[in-house]
Amino acid sequence: MGEATYDLIVRAGRVFCADTRMDGPGAVAVSGDRIVAAGEEIVGTAGRVFEFPDGVLLPGLVDLHSHPAPSDWKYGIDPDVEILPRGVTTILSQGDCGADDWQFYRDRVIHGSKTRVRLAMSVARGGERVPGTEAFGNVDDLDVDAGVAAIKDGGDLIWGLSVNASVNACGDSDPKLVVQRTLEIAERTGRPILFGNRWDPYDWPISEQLDLLRSGDVLTYCFHSGPNGIVEDGKVIDAALRARDRGVLFDVGHGMSSFDFPTVEAAIVDGFLPDTISTDQYARHVGSDPQHDLPRTISKLLAAGMDERDAFTRATLRPAGVLGMAGEIGTLRGGACADIAVLERNEDAAPLADVVGNSRPGGCYEPVLTVRAGEVVGAAE
């Protein structure tokens, strides 16, 4: 028999796949938009071959909280420009779109992007479209029936619901009413919620908020500092432990205000790791220096004491499962979609900083190759 021929072979000094438990030198072979083989030795030829002896090859990264949307929307960024070249091939929009704009969002953003986009839809009909407004500032826009209809129309493209109980999102509206309406849609459609808790002002205890969440719901912004967080006096609070026990998931959602090194470090020491690592990357991050992205957020978790294998799993296999896409993404198993990221460590990178000015040394992972559905879409020069 003749030697196998592939479209693409990527070799790296380390190949990590939590799904197949591969962790060592190796390569991945791709034909069309599918992974054909991954292992220590790939025998054959390919139209394109990449070699990264100092790189870590992973399944395409999955960001469970970001803001892919038109640039004139409140938080919107172009995912193919700002996210995909950074090793992230699949993202979940946190509430950018509501029922009124669902079909436009589907056509323009989901179908119009190389990046795989899924939506956590806002209960507000207008979502986060209009700059300078609170998404839930007008309770008349919290339309349960419209939300149910949009989700039925969207099918698998709409993962679930998104709600942010903060004063920035609710304005003068009662956050409990906003969350109640979101839960109504979630119950009627059988969908999970990506939940941003209220911590400023301190007028609704975090324990009461967590007690509302159900198995499969995701608390994002889980590592912010100050009151109403999941860490108090250096320990994870009982309400968070109870929530995890009944299946609630915890997501980083870094953003501009939700990553505090002492909080992260206390949680890790307490054995409470995040289920997923996400960026909350949005318009204010465009052009940031250093660039805010998922590889840098992963690096911050490592600097805080998280094991590399745990961190890589929570940016690949684990969020793929949360999205209901295990086996298709987040894996290097043969037959899966050929989404690949290669990262290299830069020990001279800018210090890793949290949102309140604390920093940690330790170097940073940076993207050097992105493959989306078999197509090379980002490669370091």
> Pick from 313, 297, 212: which is nearest to 261 by CA?
297
For residue 3, the model assigns a pLDDT of 80
C-alpha triplet 137, 140, 142: angle, nearest 5°: 80
**Pairing state of beta strands 359-360 and 352-353?**
antiparallel
Average pLDDT per consecutive 10 residues, the chain (381 residues; last block may be shorter): 87 98 98 97 94 98 98 97 98 98 98 98 96 93 97 98 94 95 98 93 91 98 92 96 98 96 98 98 95 98 98 98 98 98 96 95 94 89 50
Q: How many CB atoms lie within 10 A of CB 272?
A: 19
Helix (H) or strand (E) holding 330: none
* Residue 67 burial class via C-beta count within 10 angstroms: exposed 0-12, middle 13-18, buried 19 and up: buried
d(CA 131, CA 109): 18
The answer to whether 183 and 224 have CB atoms below 8 angstroms apart is no
What is the Cα–Cα distance from 46 to 295, expressed in whole angstroms? 28
DSSP secondary structure of 65-122: EE-BS-TTSSS-B-HHHHTGGGTEEEEEEES---GGGHHHHIIIIITT-SSEEEEEEE
Burial string for 205-222 (b: 16+ CB within 10 Å, else e) reads: ebeebbebbeebbbbbbb
Distance CA 161, CA 185 (A): 8
pLDDT given for residue 361 in this prediction: 86
Q: Are the beta carbons of 97 and 84 closer than 8 angstroms? A: no
345 CB neighbour count, 10 Å cutoff = 16
pLDDT at 23: 98
Q: What is the pLDDT of residue 240?
A: 98
Contact 50, 370 (CB under 8 A): no
Task: Tell me what pLDDT residue 2 has.
Answer: 63
Give the pLDDT score at 136.
95
